[in-house]
Structure 1
């Protein structure tokens, strides 16, 4: 039996539990889709135990793994609204069942609500990850997905940029309004801008501050909250291999820092996404090598603490298959990898941390080569 945590429609998967009482539940967070998860109403929900001797439940809450500083006897109900949660704090939850004599089950597995948990990259209202496309002629489209199945495809509004030198480089809620936005970079001028969105409709466009960098060899490669302040940050990589982060306050630069380590050999590893790969509440970096090797930097803020290879460690064909996005497509609480082949094929790797669980083709599985390119989520 397993305990799961969902926030904003996406469960954060836990481990198998053993209980002295028979318990079967799914623990989920239900959040207001119109706001960031921790800013809106949050409700803890689980399915009732099938054990007829169970008379109630106790929810335990802590800020460290396995250390619970608060307990709440919620009685026989299977929904509970936690007290005010700080968006800068990681929380750990566990549930016990008890019977009429007060006998408690073992703790369930612990589940995590990470600090500043990122919104699902969703341009609709279903809380599931979507795929963003850009055409070489500037057209923009979103695939609303149900796991690997296309639900519907829509053009953004506006549906096209007149200057195709503007390229979408990242997808993130940069203004903190709970809605996924587009981050752009002009390929010749170096200007950086954001489309602040309401679903698939542009609300307003803004230049970032600063709006450019002097060296065009710096590229935005991912977004993540690297300093746990609740704001999306920009991750940069130089063509020479140096890696850095812009720590942001919305669309305004707060500080720029080099990562530690601060570089990889030029022409080798490239950052292809960022996500919490090891479920510690901190954003990690995903890398792909031109020879097909796959690795992660498990981060503590801007400091790398480990650099394991993924399992499998490598894909054939070098970069013929390229990771184009990172998001939880099957809603198991683990980031999955979205791939696109140079011939137009599209695939998802469903992951368990750093390990592949299943590889599936998206349906539809292909776009004409040299046309539409996946530009997010990442």
Structure 2
């Protein structure tokens, strides 16, 4: 934000050049130093500022248009010293200070109303905050700030850590007297993107020739194939079971299974290069891999298995290319099938979507590691409608459901929030020779797109999505139908 005109600007890191995003903000503003935060999910920059009439407000500015989307007035004694946005919980936090009692309190700050709600109790004998000295660790749920003990201004500055769950002080480390800290930022690892082999946060495409077993990767940038390479040929008795991220590095890895022996191996990938591989184990033919997901929240894919005879389900908890443990999670009648593994709650742990093949009822198991903490039916859908995939169409880090009607070819998306269908929309329709082969984020926009393949012509098309609406459609090439998207 440049405050001569109150204008949101994009700044070029290489040249320092400023490019205005939209027009300026009327009657705006002097900013409170250090009191700004970005909501990457909604694309809103928040800051606390004072307008020309000396009224203090919490401004929310769209990063797409530069317009004010919210500007509630704050009380004159709000005491806010720093704000940070937790993209994982979709919450704006504020650290407030009461000079009269020498206490600090972590609060949730409502962007629409400016209301403050204390997370927990107050921290005694605290703190004069150092402007700019705050950040948030979304994984651990800790708000950090640099401050000084209120009763002793000669005391060294300290790095305080406050739990975003309880509001309690979890750490208070004295800083060296000559540390000279101006700003602090927590280095958060971005969420891995499905099928992203080169960690550019855009999905790529893995192809396999059904006749020769040769595997090939297309490195994608939107509708453009930027690079391609063969990564090897594997006997056709080996099938690609799924793609995941076993080492937590953000690059897609490949899980293979031998349909004859039941052996399972994983390839750890780095772009087009297989950096390592390992045999993980073996299972009999009645055990099938139902999907990959991060069940324990360590950013590494685990393997969900289902026994087609008994209905038993187990999770192989993985660390890198090694299985740490095999954990039974329950037995479900065999007329229930796993139709998706995703994160419906946005807590960073995989959940399971089940579908009854007789009634059409859909059910979600909310998982915490290998424990089912809750389950609920999300509706009964006619059997002509099949789950085509799970993805995040709205960019809120929660899985949504893509449905396709096998008879009409119609496609519908459900926007999910936990067990609740918040919205749904018809996206379009395609003929029976068109199949949905993958969901991924091919343009890096933070929202899932749809990859289609014509099984007759080999034509391959991406529907670029914007929420529940199709923004653009682009053909990315025609490939011999012997090559299948994995």
Q: 1:128 aligns with which of 179, 199, 202?
A: 202
**Alignment deviations for residues 104-159 of structure 1 (CA, whole Å, 9 cap, x no partner):** xxxxxxxxx9x986422322353211111111111111122223x132351233x3
Corresponding position: 1:327 with 2:402: no
Matched residue, 1:145 = 220
Q: Relative contact order (C-alpha < 8 Å, sep 6+): which is higher?
A: 1
Question: What is the 5 A alignment of 1:1-378?
Answer: 12-13=41-42, 23-26=60-63, 58-61=82-85, 66=91, 68=93, 70=95, 82=135, 85=137, 87=139, 89=140, 118-120=191-193, 121-136=195-210, 137-147=212-222, 149-157=223-231, 159-161=232-234, 163-208=235-280, 211-213=281-283, 215-240=284-309, 241-259=311-329, 262-265=332-335, 269-271=337-339, 273-285=340-352, 297=364, 299-301=366-368, 302=370, 303=372, 305-308=375-378, 313-317=403-407, 323-340=436-453, 342-343=455-456, 344=458, 346-348=460-462, 356-358=468-470, 361-364=473-476, 366-369=478-481, 371-375=482-486
Matched residue, 2:419 = none
Distance 1:265 1:231, change over 3 A: same
TM-score (norm 2): 0.50
C-alpha distance in 2 between matches for 1:263 and 1:349: 36
When the two chains are superposed, the root-mean-square deviation of aligned CA atoms in Å is 4.7
Matched residue, 1:101 = none
Other structure's SS at 1:24 match: strand
Q: Residues 294 and 313 of structure 1 are in contact (CA less than 8 Å); yes or no, is this contact kept in structure 2?
A: no
C-alpha distance in 2 between matches for 1:298 and 1:337: 25
Distance 1:21 1:64, change over 3 A: closer
**Alignment deviations for residues 238-295 of structure 1 (CA, whole Å, 9 cap, x no partner):** 33454332112222222323445735416xx453x4333453433234568889x796
Give structure 1 stretches of 5+ with no counterpart. Answer: 7-11, 28-46, 93-112
Q: Which has more radius of gyration?
A: 2
- State how many pairs are aligned: 308
Q: Residues 463 and 474 of structure 2 are in contact (CA less than 8 Å); yes or no, is this contact kept in structure 1?
A: no
Q: Residues 354 and 363 of structure 2 are in contact (CA less than 8 Å); yes or no, is this contact kept in structure 1?
A: yes
Q: Residues 459 and 475 of structure 2 are in contact (CA less than 8 Å); yes or no, is this contact kept in structure 1?
A: no
Give structure 2 stretches of 5+ with no counterpart. Answer: 1-7, 9-36, 49-56, 71-79, 97-105, 107-128, 144-185, 380-399, 410-431
